[in-house]
Amino acid sequence: MNIYLVGINHRTAPVAVREKVAIRIEALGEALELLRAYVPHGVILSTCNRTEVYTLTSEDGGAGAASLNFLQTHLDIPDKTLRRYIYTLEGQAAVEHLFRIACGLDSMIIGEYEVLGQVSQALEAAEKAKMVSLPIRHLFQEAIRTGRRVREETAISKNALSVSSVAVELAAKTIGHLQNCKMLVIGAGEAGRLAAKAAKDRGVSQITVVSRTRARASTLAAQLGGRPITINEMAQELNTCDLVVACAGAPHHLLGVQHIEEVMRHRPKRPMVIIDIAVPRIVAPEVAEIKNVFLYNIDDLTQISEQNRRRRQGEMEKAAKIIAAEMAEFAAWWQTLETRPVISALMKKAEAIRSTQLSKTLKKLRPLSDEERESLEAMTKSIVTKILQEPISYLKENAGSHQELAEIVSKLFSLDGKR
């Protein structure tokens, strides 16, 4: 048994491909139900940078092939296209990969906070779908704990950028400055909040927040002194805005060529900058061909994100050392998985023998008080615990170096029920 990962990310595929396999958080439950038809246990991690499936596989590699089939069949990606962009990792390589993700080292924006929450949400969704086994649960829990430790013990996330703040920085470089600019934020979630805050810090004169409902838009708008509107009211607002940051989750484009062409007819000489950081994208790529419209997507943030990476190189090295130490701990725990069934069976058999023999003995004795019975129970349990303590400790400590050890113990104590 081993951890197996199949995925696609910002290093292996452009956003045009990634958006086809992206799974919105509210759709994770449904996706996990589909995955269940292929593997009994698994976690789907889907962020703006990646979509990955974590499963357990045996020596025949069946679960790995099943994960690939799941991505291909249910996410409508041709096999040749998918195989060109995917990567697969197994064992310690898969463990290290997830640990690096949780620590913010595998993100486009090094040190970003959002990904740790996304890893937690992925585990939570899989737990809710009852798709999590002990090994996968422990893997994700340890990755989350390591992510927190790295952020506490290093400065990897100090003054950390986010995809949203980098998008605003790109907009500022494109326009020249954001002072007195009017901004439209599509999406009232965390990404929208970060984008609006970054823009406000740079001096935008007006922020309008767009969401499916006015109530949701109002919550964010109130925090920033902005104005809330619904998606249905967005067309009119586009006539006067200078900057659009799109970060809402949607299954289709919210802004198409016809929308923007109509807007630009009312402002032919006034440029508009649109940064679409949503995955899947919610602005049609063809909008970039419209005169005086400057459209960017999440992959266009690479230059600024690379500068951020260079600034955090020293902290990345510190984080890597912590990850290495935590991986060693995880590897030691993983080795105990082979002996756990044997240890459990050994303890159950010892308890059964203790209980049976104590019952026989009690029948031969005079009637005992409750206190005396409890004393005998405690004494016999203590004897069993003391006898098994060293063998169990030895099993745990040598699980990895003695592959036949568990089998020998099983035969010695007839734990397989054959004698």
- At residue 62, the pLDDT reads 66
Position of tokens 């016809």?
Answer: 258
* Average pLDDT for 3-8: 94
Q: What is the pLDDT of residue 60?
A: 55
- What is the predicted pLDDT for the residue at 364? 86
Residue 400 confidence (pLDDT) above 70: no
Beta strands (DSSP E) in 286-412 are: 293-297
Give the pLDDT score at 130. 97
Euclidean distance between the first and the last CA atom of the chain, given in angstroms as a whole number: 28
Per-residue pLDDT at 401 exceeds 60: no
Over 60: is that where the pLDDT of 59 sits?
Answer: no
pLDDT over 60 at 71, yes or no: yes
pLDDT band at residue 35 under the 50/70/90 scheme: very high
Q: Is 103 tagged catalytic?
A: no
pLDDT band at residue 11 using 50, 70 and 90 as cut-offs: very high
Taking residues 153-168, report their average pLDDT.
91
pLDDT attached to residue 218 = 95
Q: What is the mean pLDDT of residues 390-411?
A: 65
Average pLDDT rounded to a whole number, residues 136-144? 98
pLDDT tens for 279-320 read 999 999 999 999 999 999 999 998 888 888 899 999 999 999
Extract the tokens encoding 329.
């701990």
Residue 104 has pLDDT above 90, yes or no: yes
CATH superfamily of 2-156+312-335: Glutamyl-tRNA reductase, N-terminal domain (3.30.460.30)
Query: For the chain, what is the mean pLDDT?
Result: 89
When pLDDT is averaged across residues 357-371 and rounded to a whole number, the result is 86
418 pLDDT higher than 70: no
- Token pair, residue 36, equals 């269940």
Indicate the SS3 state at residue 316.
helix
Q: Which CATH architecture has domain 163-307?
A: 3-Layer(aba) Sandwich (3.40)
* pTM for this entry: 0.82
Residues 106, 112, 116, 121, Cα dihedral to 10°: -100
- Catalytic residue (choose from 48, 103, 181, 247): 48
d(CA 73, CA 325): 38
Angle, nearest 10°, between helix axes 92-102 and 114-128? 120
101-112 average pLDDT score: 95
- pLDDT tens for each residue of 201-217: 999 999 999 999 999 99
pLDDT greater than 70 at residue 2: yes
Torsion of CA 316, 329, 133, 51, to 10 degrees: 10
Q: Give the pLDDT band (50/70/90) at residue 392.
A: confident
- DSSP result, 130-169: T---HHHHHHHHHHHHHHHHHHHHSSTTTT---HHHHHHH
Domain regions of the chain by residue span:
2-156+312-335, 163-307, 340-412
Compute the distance between CA of residue 22 and CA of residue 25 in angstroms, rounded to an integer.
10
pLDDT given for residue 170 in this prediction: 94
Q: What is the pLDDT of residues 339-349, one digit of tens each?
A: 776 777 778 87
Q: Are 63 and 36 in contact (CB under 8 A)?
A: no
Q: What is the pLDDT of residue 409?
A: 65
Q: Is the pLDDT confidence value at 275 over 90?
A: yes
pLDDT average, residue stretch 395-402? 61
Q: Is the pLDDT of residue 68 over 90?
A: no
